[in-house]
Each structure stands twice: as structure tokens, then as C-alpha cells.
């Protein structure tokens, strides 16, 4: 995983059969299947083609700069007002 982080900063990496740490929170290794700055591109490229793996995950490799996005994100999802 450290090699992926070094190689693809600012990109999404698609990892097949990821291995997690003992807390099941952080990917420590896995099979690098693909990478792209465009997450949707990966989805179109791989949708339906991942059944050969037990699990997979998409992870964003953060660049070394501060990001505070929660304030933009949280307002989305507070209260459903009407089901159509």
C-alpha cells in the first residue's frame, strides 16, 4: 500500500482482495488492478469484471496537503423531508 501511495498521489486506486490491518480499517496490501484520477472512469472500466476477487475496494491516495471537506459534505444528508 505504501508503494501505491508513493506512485499514485491524487489518484484513485482499485485494489483487488485487499488485506486489512487487525482493526479492519486500513488496507495494508492487495492487488493493484487499476488507477485513475477519475473514479467514474474506473467504475465504467471495471463494473461487472470484479467477480474473480473475494472483495475489492477503491481508495483515494491523498496528496500531502490539508483538505477539509466535511463542511461541504455534511449538509447533504441531514434530513429527508419527502419521499416522492
Partner 1 sequence: MNFPFKRGSEDGMLLVEVLLDSLTKMSVLLDTGASFSTFDSTELLMAGYDLSKPIGFADVETAIGMLQVEVFELHEFTAFGITKKNYRIQVYDFLAHGLLSEHQGILGLDFFEGTKFCIDTVRNQISIEPLPV
Shortest distance in whole angstroms from residue 60 CB to partner 1:
4
Shortest distance in whole angstroms from residue 5 CB to partner 1:
12
Instruction: Please identify, using beta-carbon distances, which residue of 3 and 66 lies nearer to partner 1.
Output: 66
Instruction: Please identify, using beta-carbon distances, which residue of 3 and 78 lies nearer to partner 1.
Output: 78
Provide the terminal-to-terminal Cα distance of the chain, rounded to the nearest Å. 43
> Does residue 6 touch partner 1 according to CB under 8 A?
no
User: CA nearest 36: which of 46, 21, 22?
Assistant: 46
Shortest distance in whole angstroms from residue 7 CB to partner 1:
17
Sign of CA dihedral 56, 39, 21, 70: negative
Between CA 83 and CA 14 the distance in angstroms is 34
Amino acid at each position: 500500500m505504501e508503494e501505491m501511495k508513493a506512485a499514485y498521489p491524487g489518484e484513485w486506486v482499485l485494489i483487488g482482495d485487499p488485506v486489512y490491518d487487525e482493526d479492519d480499517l486500513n488496507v495494508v496490501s492487495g492487488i493493484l488492478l487499476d488507477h485513475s484520477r477519475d473514479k467514474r472512469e474506473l467504475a465504467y472500466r471495471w463494473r461487472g469484471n470484479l467477480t474473480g476477487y473475494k472483495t475489492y475496494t477503491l481508495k483515494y491516495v491523498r496528496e500531502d496537503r490539508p483538505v477539509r471537506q466535511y463542511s461541504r459534505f455534511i449538509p447533504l444528508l441531514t434530513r429527508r423531508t419527502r419521499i416522492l
